[in-house]
């Protein structure tokens, strides 16, 4: 009885340490798994470009995002900027360099037509090694729900990510998109988007400096659900919220004005 009383707190401490989602890999590799997690995410980006990828010897501009991350965040960049980022090879430096370019990929392409599945193993491994890094969850989910038409697997993977990162508004945004675009369930989607927005504000209030573009994306999706549900008053309120954070306000303001006119007209008719 005395032994049980003495050992019980130790057992509880040990049990909670081993029941983390990282499992065997975390126990074996410790914190070095985060390095490998990032490297596997880079491998996924390399696969996205079918092997056309800078090595550690090729210079990369600081602050440059991985293409895979930008695609899954649905950020659109100009063609010129994209070409500049991908010209890491430059002109051949000498005859041997020119000749050697026959033996490795030298054209910038992105996987398409269902071949995006080839990135999935690396994204899965990256998430396994560092469950607190959310980019692998977002990238895998984006491709699973869009090109690969597999929203079920996307949702399952995102929920794993949510278990490891319960305060992640990015994962909630992606989860909401599955419900809105794939399952056509705007009501559930809106609830998830609302939760994501709440998490975003919570992080901002705590001094976390969350990305305002993500807030704009969440509000944009909320506006789409309102449009889908035909809730014009709520849509107007949400669009006015969106106007405060949206980067491009011109077209949004005109849409708000149109909606106000429409609402005024419908009230007049009533």
Size of the site for other proteins (CB under 8 A): 28
Radius of gyration of the chain (CA): 23
Distance CA 237, CA 245 (A): 14
Q: Which of residues 150-209 bind other proteins (CB under 8 A)?
A: 150, 153, 157
| Nearest distance, CB of residue 177 and other proteins, angstroms | 18
User: Could you tell me which stretch among 20-28, 43-51, 198-206, 233-241 binds other proteins (CB under 8 A)?
Assistant: 43-51
Stretch that binds other proteins, among 55-63, 172-180, 182-190, 202-210 (CB under 8 A): 55-63
Nearer to other proteins, 110 or 198 (CB): 110
Rounded to whole angstroms, the Cα distance separating 200 from 213 reads 11
d(C-alpha 136, C-alpha 68), whole Å: 9
Residue 42: enclosing H or E segment and its boundaries? helix 33-48
3-state secondary structure of 191: helix
Tell me: does residue 124 bind other proteins (CB under 8 A): yes
With respect to other proteins, which residue has the nearer C-beta, 152 or 208? Answer: 152
59 phi, psi to nearest 5 deg: -75, 145
* CA separation for the pair 11, 7 (Å, rounded): 6
3-class DSSP assignment, residue 186: helix
- Alpha-helix runs per DSSP H in 151-249: 151-164, 169-177, 186-205, 212-229, 232-245
Is 121 a binding residue for other proteins by CB under 8 A? The answer is: yes
The window from 20-28, 31-39, 53-61, 210-218 that contacts other proteins (CB under 8 A) reads 53-61
Q: Kindly tell me which of 51 and 208 has the beta carbon lying closer to other proteins.
A: 51
Dihedral sign of CA atoms 252, 256, 257, 259 in order: positive
> Could you tell me the smallest distance in angstroms from the CB atom of residue 102 to other proteins?
4
Q: Among 80, 93, 112, 209, which residue interacts with other proteins (rule: CB under 8 A)?
A: 93
Residue with tokens 């994501």: 196
Q: Does 47 bind other proteins (CB under 8 A)?
A: yes
Q: Is 23 in the site for other proteins (CB under 8 A)?
A: no
- In terms of CB distance, is 134 or 215 closer to other proteins? 134
Please state, in angstroms and rounded to a whole number, the distance separating the CA atoms of residues 170 and 165.
Answer: 10
Work out whether 94 is an interface residue with other proteins (CB under 8 A): yes
User: Which parts of this chain interact with other proteins (CB under 8 A)?
Assistant: 47, 50-51, 55, 57-58, 93-94, 96-97, 99-100, 102-105, 117-118, 120-122, 124, 140, 144, 148, 150, 153, 157
């Amino acid at each position: 009885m005395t032994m049980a009383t003495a050992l019980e707190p130790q057992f509880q401490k040990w049990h909670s340490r081993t029941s983390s989602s990282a499992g065997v890999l975390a126990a074996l590799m410790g914190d070095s798994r985060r390095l490998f997690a990032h490297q596997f995410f880079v491998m996924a980006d390399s696969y996205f470009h079918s092997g056309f990828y800078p090595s550690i010897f090729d210079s990369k501009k600081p602050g440059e995002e991985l293409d895979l991350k930008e695609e899954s965040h649905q950020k659109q960049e100009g063609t010129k900027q994209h070409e500049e980022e991908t010209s890491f090879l430059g002109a051949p430096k000498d005859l041997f360099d020119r000749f050697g370019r026959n033996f490795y990929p030298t054209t910038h392409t992105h996987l398409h037509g269902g071949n995006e599945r080839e990135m999935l193993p690396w994204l899965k491994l990256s998430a396994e090694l560092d469950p607190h890094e959310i980019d692998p969850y977002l990238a895998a989910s984006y491709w699973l729900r869009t090109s690969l038409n597999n929203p079920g697997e996307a949702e399952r993977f995102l929920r794993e990510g949510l278990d490891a990162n319960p305060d992640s508004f990015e994962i909630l945004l992606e989860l909401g998109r599955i419900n809105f675009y794939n399952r056509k369930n705007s009501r559930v989607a809106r609830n998830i988007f609302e939760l994501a927005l709440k998490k975003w504000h919570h992080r901002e209030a705590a001094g976390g400096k969350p990305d305002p573009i993500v807030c704009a994306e969440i509000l944009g999706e909320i506006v789409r659900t309102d449009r889908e549900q035909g809730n014009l008053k709520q849509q107007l309120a949400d669009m006015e919220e969106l106007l405060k954070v949206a980067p491009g306000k011109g077209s949004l303001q005109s849409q708000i004005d149109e909606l106000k006119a429409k609402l005024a007209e419908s009230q007049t008719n009533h």
